[in-house]
Structures are given as C-alpha cells and as structure tokens.
Amino acid sequence: MLFSGIPFLFYFLPAVIILYLIAPKCLKNTVLLVSSLVFYAWGEPRFVIIMVSSIALGYVFGLLIEKFRGRIAAKIFIALSVIMSIGILGYFKYADFMISNFNAITGLSVPLLRIALPIGISFYTFQLLSYTIDVYRGDVAAQRNPIDLAAYIALFPQLIAGPIVRYSDVAAQLKQRSHTLDRVALGIRRFIIGLAKKVLVANALGELCDVFRSSGDKSVLFFWLYAIAFALHIYFDFSGYSDMAIGLGKLFGFDFIENFNYPYISKSIAEFWRRWHISLGSWFRDYVYIPLGGNRVSKLRWFFNTLTVWMLTGLWHGASWNFVIWGLYFAFFLLIEKFFLSKLLDKIGTARHLYVLFFVLISFVIFNAADMNQAFADIGGMFGAGGIPLVSTEAVYYLKNYAVTFIVAIIGATPFPKKLMEKLQLKKGFSTVLSVAEPIVLAAFLIVIAAYLIDGSFNPFLYFRF
Amino acid sequence: MREKTKNIIVIVLVAALLATFSLWCWLREADTYSDSERRVLAKFPTLNTQTLLSGEFMSKFEDYSLDQFPMRDTFRQIKALTEFNLFLRLDNNDIYLADGHVSKIEYPIKPDMLDNAAARFEYLYETYMADKDMNIYLSIVPDKNYFLAEQSGHLALDYDELIEYFRGKTEYMQYIEVRDLLSADDYYYTDTHWRQEKILDIAQRLAAEMGVTLSATYTENTLEHPFYGVYSGQSALDLTPDTIKYLTNDVLDGCIVTSYDSGEPVIKHVYDLDKATGKDPYEMFMSGNDAILTLENPAATTDRELIIFRDSFGSSISPLFAEGYAKVTLVDIRYVKSDMVGDFVTFEDQDVLFLYSTMLLNNSLAFK
C-alpha cells in the first residue's frame, strides 16, 4: 500500500487511527502490528511470511545472544543471525545478479531464478541486523515481547522505505510513549508536507523523466533537463516518504531519525552523504565501516574499508553493476576529498556547491540508468555526444511546461522556505497571520493532493525497490 | 494565536476532512458510469481467498477507490485548475486550451501506426479493388491541433511530413487535399470533430475530385441540447458547451439509412435525434459509429455509388454526398474485420474514398 494512495489515506489510515485510539494501552502495539501486516500484505500478500519468518528469527536470536552473552555461543548465534538475515536478503535480491555474473565469467548458462523482490526487504533486514548486533554488543536488552519486536520491525510508517530506525532509538517508546496535541499536530504537518513533496513535485518530475526516456527528440538540453529532473525527483520522492514516515510515527508516539537535511546545499561530497539518506549512511558507518577499523588504520586498509562500504552501499540500492559503480564513484570523491580536494575546494568558495551539484547530478544519471551502457549514453548526451542538437522542440516545450515545478523544487530543496517561515514567525503581525493560515494551508494541501491522486495514475515510490 | 490553539485547529480540520471523505467513501453507493469521462467506472472487486492471495483484490480496489471517490469530477477540476493556474502547465494530461478551443496534444508522428494503417488500406485495396475498374481516393483530415498546437506553443505534429509519409505508402490512391479549406473554427470547441455546417465546401471539393458536382442547399437546424464534447469531460474544466447544427433538405429527408451491424438490415436515421441527447451527441450523425451503413437516395438522378472507408469524421460529412450518389456505403474497419468487409459490400465500379483523420491514422491499433 502506498502512503500516496486513496486506499491508504481514506480507508486504511482512518481505520487504524480509530482502532489505535480505542485500543487499551496494552494492545496498542498489537493494533500497530496487525495493521502493519495488513499494510504489507496489501501489496505483497505472499511475502508476509518471509517478513514474519525474518522477525521470528531475529526474536529468537536476540534472546539466545543475550542469554549466552560473553560466551562463544553468543558469537555463534550472532554469526548465524547475520548469515541468515543476509542470506534471505541475498537470495531474494542478489541471486540473479550473481548467476548472471557467473554466467558471464564462465560462459555457462545457469538459468536465472527470476525471484520477485519482497518490498522493503532491504529496510527491514537492516533493522533486524541492527537489533541483533546491538543485543550482541550489549547496547540494548533483547526484547522479550514478540509483539513489541514485531511491531518495531513491521511498523508500517517506516516498513517499506525507511528511515532505517534503530531498535535502540525506539526501544523505550515501544513500552511507553506520549501522545500530545503538539506531537500529533506536528505529525500531521510533517505527513502532509511529505505527501505534497511526493504528489505535487516528485510525481511531476518523474513524469518528465519518463517522457524523456520515451522521446525520440533528444537534445543536450533535454539530457540536462532529465538529469536535473531526476536528481530533484529522487530527493522529493524519498525525502517526502521520510517526512510522511516521521509524521506518521509522531501520530503513534514514535520519534524516528531524520533521514535528509537539505543535501543539495552541501559543499562537499562528504557533507552530501551526511545529509542524504542519513539512516543508511549511519547504519553502514556503525555496522560495517567502524567494525572494519574505520579510519584508525593504515592508509591502505582505510582505502579498502572505504571502498568496501561504498560498494556495499551501492549494492544495497540494487543488484546491478551501475549501483556498484555508483557507490564506488562516491568512494572515489570521498577519498580524493580526504587526500587533497577539500583544501582546494576551500579556496573556491561558493563554487564548491557547483562541484557537488555537478557530480551528484552525474551520479544520479548513473543511478537511474538501466545499465552502464545507458549511463554512458546519458552522460554522453549531456555533453553532446553522438552529434545530437543542442536544443529540441520537445526539450523547450517541457522546459516551459515544468518551469514552475523546477523552481518550486529547487527552492524547496534548500532551507530557504524554512528559514523564511522562522523569520516571519518572529514578526508579531506575520506570526498571527501564519498561525491562522497554517491550518487552512494544510487542509488545502490535503484537498489538492487528493485531487491529484484521484486524477492521477498509480505512482509507486522509487525506494520501494530497495 | 497560541500554539496550542493552532495545533487543535490543525488536528480538528485535518481529522474532519479525513473522517468526512473516509465515511463518504465507505458508505456511498457506487456509480456505474462517468458521463464526463465517457467510461464505465470500476466496481467493488470480488473478495475471496483467491483474489486476496493473488493480490487481484488489492489491485482492483485501487481502481475502485479512485473511480468511486466522492465528488470525483470536482477533484479532477481542482487538479486541472492547479496545474494550469498554479504550476502554469501548458497542458493537463495532454489537454490544453487555445483560442477558445480545448484540444489534446497529438505528438509525435508514430511511423509504426501509420504503417499499420497503410497496410490495412493496402489489404483492402488488394482484396477488393485492385482488379476492378474503381477510382480510389484518399483524403486526410487534420485534427484541430493542426490549427492550434504550434501557434499556442504546444507540441505539434509535422502534418506535411505525416501526409507525405502516408501518401508514399498509398500511391494507388488519388490524394485529395482539404487542409486549405479548414480552420480551427470548423471544429467544435470542446470536441475533436468538425462541424457539419462548416464542411459543405469540403464535401464539394471531395465530390468534385471524384467527378461529382454538389450544389444542394440545406436548412440549418440547431439542437437545443448542449453539446459537451469529448475534451470537455477530459479537461475536467467548466467549459461553455458547443451547439450542434445539422443540415437537412428534401433529398436527405427522403434518404434511407440501413445498418448491417446485427447481421440483418436495420433501418436507422441520417440524424438520430435520440442520440443527440445521449452520452455523445455527435453520434446523432448517421446514428454513430456503425461498422457498415448504407445511405440510399431514392431521388437520385444517377446510379453512381460511393464507398467511404471512414472514421467518425465521416459520420457528419457523408450525408452531404447523398445528393450526388444513389448510394453511399460507410465502412468503419475499427468495428468490422477487413477480411469480412466483402461479406457486406460488393465492390464493382463504385468510387471509393478513404477519409481518415490524422489522429486515427497516427493511432491505428483499432484497425481490424
């Protein structure tokens, strides 16, 4: 089920809220768990069993690891837990990738398994891994109540597209959480803003990307429009989802980690990754990079650690070489920034932003390509390869057609609107106007969003495939 | 306003909106048909173990929830207004407004569709006409984007290229150009079709090229029923409806229209006034899109016959040929297979006119 869908907004969510409100405190997590399973089954009825099995394994291993903490058995159980979790993820997500590479290397023709990817498997597997590893490390106590653990893993607001919520961050809230007017209002505000980012901006830019792909009238301008549109699309799509997840979390009394912090204003690639998909970056840092030794090792080893983490980051996004290249591409920039580039960048002032935007733009062209051939063709097209014209009729039309959306998206991707609001809040007259306007604007947003959904077609979130 | 008060208003307002529309969604009786979109709406899907496990129920419920949302047309209008006025879009779902008209972008040229149409025509020619002493004509009617799209800054087909391409594939036909006789105002403002009262000169040109002189005069009749064309509903905007006018005279009053769609001859009307108040009033012309229709003129002073392979543009122009022919046969190969046409039409020495709009040639999958 999609947050940005009529069934969710006008059938599922009101029903869940009512059930949650009337349920006694001891049953609230059960309500959340059952509704989360329904939410998941709505899109993938067959794969509920995979998720439930993964949760059951996590639950049992958590208890066993805690019971045998400090003993060799705990090591065996954590190893088993990690192997089984990654094994399930690997089977569903990477089996065909490995087989096709094996076939390419050996010349054999091992048939592909063609397994459908369970929605959100990368997200909930990483949450389970963080749970069992944290229990092993002694950072958290194992959860004895299977309902609470299952509710944490399957919690529908963040189940299928993150943020990757650590058990340690919500363990206390699984037992005790507050539902204040302020939190609920904040949650509603955040949810509607996220929904608007997705429905009004990301979907429109996604349409433009589709139009580009099917166009026979390519030009340099069109390739650039596509690259910019996709970079903004993926940001508004994914950060919109994260906003909705965080907002829904607040409705039900949870505080989820922030996942984005205006990444396109970054002045270096390293900063970009501190602002983009924060929950994934911190997961890899805490569960892969630091265990490998981090940067407190020899240069060669640090080099290896960095490449490993970024190759895995790329692979996490998809079983395809362009994702691996995409991850390593960022590793390259992070390494050269560390070695020498950041000193040079310091000297060029605000042009640092252009450096980040340019290379991030290129990265997302690689990211969205079907394969590396298409990635090279798209990047080549941005620079006129193949003798394509500078401008085409279609490019000019779509530039005009989406001009306002681009302007809204570009401004919306910066902290400017937020800062402006904060400044206006401080002015007495404006403050009153804003207070009156805010509920009206939110209600208007909801109506306009519903209008777009009713008129629009099925538009799944980009990050569901991960 | 205190923060707490503002938060209460936010919660109450949003909760009220969600609750109202949610209850309305749950409780309202489902509609079966959308007049504005001219389509059947999704019904509540069958709920059983099989449809649940396969995901079929969920998938169909998505369609149901969209189609049956309360005030659906109002919401569609809100979306269209937001697109045009807030995001300054040049089109909404390819629908655009220009020069008082509402139209739909037709772009780009689809060579595979043109090839398909040309292949169908060639099949008809080879099967029924090649070995007969028949004069075969082709005329391509530009859709109204020809007059509106480029001028208003929208994506436009290269009509010269399209027509040249198609003529190159149908060289066995004599081409009759009509674009110079048309303008945007010869089409309905809210619909794709041309106005019958504006195409008398087109009929005369086509007939003249086929060696027939048309000179009849007609009485112009105006339907009182407003005509909301196909683009009116698709645009979701409040548009002023068109008025349908139709031409009559004594010759047409005496003509006999026969449909063969049911397998048996069924008498129909040149102008079906019942359909004029129906879901698509344009269907009043020659009773709509029947596969095979004949229009016989008992008062004809000639025994010449005309066969028109046509789309819906042919419905309103065909009565204007009655004056010059004893019998006009209309064939629509969207509704009858090309290899079955011979079961209904005897090809001998008739004039044959292929009269198609650019829109249909460029989207010819429906040809059978």
Instruction: Render pLDDT for A213-224 as a digit per residue (tens, 0 to 9).
Output: 999 889 999 999
Number of Cβ within a 10 Å radius of residue B151: 13
Contact A447 B58 (CB under 8 A): no
Contact A439 B88 (CB under 8 A): no
Write the CA distances from A168 to A57, A174, A242, A416, integer angstroms: 18, 10, 19, 33
Domain final residue, candidates B34, B64, B98: B98
How many domains does one find in chain B? 2
Q: What is the pLDDT of residue B280?
A: 87
Least Cα separation, residue A372 to chain B (angstroms): 28
| β-strand pairing of B305-310 with B351-357 | parallel
State what percent of residues in chain A have pLDDT above 90.
Answer: 82
Q: Which of B3, B13, B87 sits opposite A439 (nearest CB)?
A: B13
Length of chain B, in residues: 368
Least Cα separation, residue A439 to chain B (angstroms): 5
Choosing from A179, A233, A277, A317, the catalytic residue is A317
Q: Specify whether the CB–CB gap between B159 and B122 falls below 8 A.
A: no
Q: What is the pLDDT of residues A247-284, one digit of tens each?
A: 999 999 999 999 999 999 999 999 999 999 999 999 99
Whether A277 sits among the annotated catalytic residues: the reply is: no
Least Cα separation, residue A410 to chain B (angstroms): 14
Write the CA distances from A114 to A178, A289, A317, integer angstroms: 45, 32, 18
Q: Specify whether the CB–CB gap between B313 and B355 falls below 8 A.
A: yes
Contact A442 B10 (CB under 8 A): yes
Q: For A189, name the nearest residue in chain B, comparing CA atoms only.
A: B10
Q: What is the pLDDT of residue A465?
A: 47
Residues of B in contact with A42 (CB under 8 A): 58
- A:337-396 residues touching chain B, CB 8 A cutoff: 393-394
**Who's near A87: CB < 8 A, 6+ residues apart?**
none
Residues of A in contact with B80 (CB under 8 A): 455
The reply to whether B146 and B261 lie within a common domain is yes
Using CB atoms within 10 Å of the CB of residue B171, give its burial: 0 to 12 exposed, 13 to 18 middle, 19+ buried: exposed
Domain final residue, candidates B98, B122, B146: B98
Q: A133, A126, A140: which is closest to A175 by C-alpha?
A: A140
The reply to whether B86 and B126 lie within a common domain is no
Q: Specify whether the CB–CB gap between B157 and B121 falls below 8 A.
A: no
The reply to whether B18 and B121 lie within a common domain is no
How large is the C-alpha radius of gyration of chain B? Answer: 24
| β-strand pairing of B266-268 with B256-259 | antiparallel
H-type helices in chain B, by residue range?
3-27, 49-54, 56-67, 72-81, 111-124, 145-148, 159-169, 200-209, 230-235, 250-254, 313-317, 341-344, 358-361
Hey, which residues does A61 pair with through a beta bridge?
none
Q: Specify whether the CB–CB gap between A465 and A117 falls below 8 A.
A: yes
Least Cα separation, residue A131 to chain B (angstroms): 31
Contact B22 A11 (CB under 8 A): yes
For chain A, the distance separating the N- and C-terminal CA atoms, rounded to the nearest angstrom, is 16
Q: For A201, name the nearest residue in chain B, comparing CA atoms only.
A: B87
| A446 has a chain B CB within 8 A of its CB | yes
The reply to whether B241 and B182 lie within a common domain is yes
Q: Give one word for B85, left, alpha or beta, with left for phi > 0 and alpha for psi -120 to 50.
A: alpha
Q: What is the pLDDT of residue A459?
A: 42
Q: Specify whether the CB–CB gap between A248 and A334 falls below 8 A.
A: no
Write the CA distances from B290 to B37, B268, B293, B337, integer angstroms: 21, 10, 6, 13
Q: For B74, name the nearest residue in chain A, comparing CA atoms only.
A: A451
The reply to whether B67 and B115 lie within a common domain is no
Q: What is the pLDDT along chain B (368 residues), one digit of tens a residue?
A: 578 888 999 999 999 999 999 999 999 998 888 887 888 889 999 999 899 988 899 999 999 999 999 999 999 999 999 999 999 999 999 999 999 999 999 999 999 999 999 999 999 999 999 888 889 999 999 999 999 999 999 999 999 999 999 999 999 999 999 999 999 999 999 999 999 999 999 999 999 999 999 988 999 999 999 999 999 988 999 999 999 999 999 989 999 999 988 878 888 989 998 888 888 899 999 988 889 999 999 988 899 999 999 999 999 999 999 999 999 999 999 999 999 988 888 888 899 999 999 999 999 998 98
Residues of A in contact with B22 (CB under 8 A): 10-11, 14
Contact A181 B11 (CB under 8 A): yes
DSSP string, A276-325: SSHHHHHHHIIIIITTTTTTSS-HHHHHHHHHHHHHHHHHHH-SSHHHHH
Using omega within 30 degrees of 0 as the cis cutoff, is the peptide bond preceding B319 cis? no
Residues of A in contact with B150 (CB under 8 A): none
SS3 A209: helix
Q: What is the pLDDT of residues A377-424, one digit of tens each?
A: 999 999 999 899 999 999 999 999 999 999 999 999 999 999 998 898
What is d(CA B367, CA B360) in angstroms, rounded to the nearest whole number? 9
Domain extent at residue B152: 107-366
**Who's near A368: CB < 8 A, 6+ residues apart?**
A209, A230, A234
Q: Give A52's pLDDT tier (boundaries 50, 70, 90).
A: very high
Least Cα separation, residue A14 to chain B (angstroms): 7
Residues of B in contact with A6 (CB under 8 A): 25, 62, 65-66, 69
Write the CA distances from A337 to A267, A282, A303, A309, A343, integer angstroms: 11, 19, 13, 17, 8
Mutation target vs A (from B4, B5, B9, B51; most A CBs, 10 A cutoff):
B9
| A104 has a chain B CB within 8 A of its CB | no
Q: Which helix (H) or strand (E) element contains residue B351? A: strand B351-357
Q: B339, B341, A133: which is closest to B330 by C-alpha?
A: B341
SS3 A117: coil
Whole-prediction pTM: 0.90
| β-strand pairing of B95-98 with B101-104 | antiparallel
Question: What ipTM was predicted for this assembly?
Answer: 0.90
The reply to whether B161 and B117 lie within a common domain is yes
Least Cα separation, residue B49 to chain A (angstroms): 11
Q: What is the pLDDT of residues A178-203, one digit of tens each?
A: 899 999 999 999 999 999 999 999 99
What is d(CA A446, CA A335) in angstroms, rounded to the nearest whole number? 44
Residues of A in contact with B5 (CB under 8 A): 435
Give the number of beta-carbon pairs within 8 Å between A and B. 134
Contact A217 B80 (CB under 8 A): no
| A4 has a chain B CB within 8 A of its CB | no
Q: HEC string of B55-115?
A: CHHHHHHHHHHHHCCCCHHHHHHHHHHHHHHHCCCCCECCEEEECCEEEECCCCCCHHHHH
- A:5-34 residues touching chain B, CB 8 A cutoff: 5-7, 9-11, 13-14
Domain final residue, candidates B79, B98, B117: B98
Query: Backbone phi, then psi, for B291, in 5-degree steps?
Result: -70, -50
Mutation target vs A (from B28, B79, B91, B105; most A CBs, 10 A cutoff):
B79
The reply to whether B53 and B161 lie within a common domain is no
Q: What is the pLDDT of residue A461?
A: 47
For residue A458, pLDDT over 90 is answered with no
The reply to whether B251 and B175 lie within a common domain is yes
The reply to whether B331 and B251 lie within a common domain is yes
- Paired tokens of B107: 């772009």
The reply to whether B251 and B117 lie within a common domain is yes
Q: Which of A5, A45, A453 sits opposite B53 (nearest CB)?
A: A45
Using CB atoms within 10 Å of the CB of residue B71, give its burial: 0 to 12 exposed, 13 to 18 middle, 19+ buried: middle
Residues of B in contact with A408 (CB under 8 A): 87
- Paired tokens of B272: 């079906």
Write the CA distances from A339 to A271, A299, A332, A356, A359, integer angstroms: 15, 10, 11, 17, 18
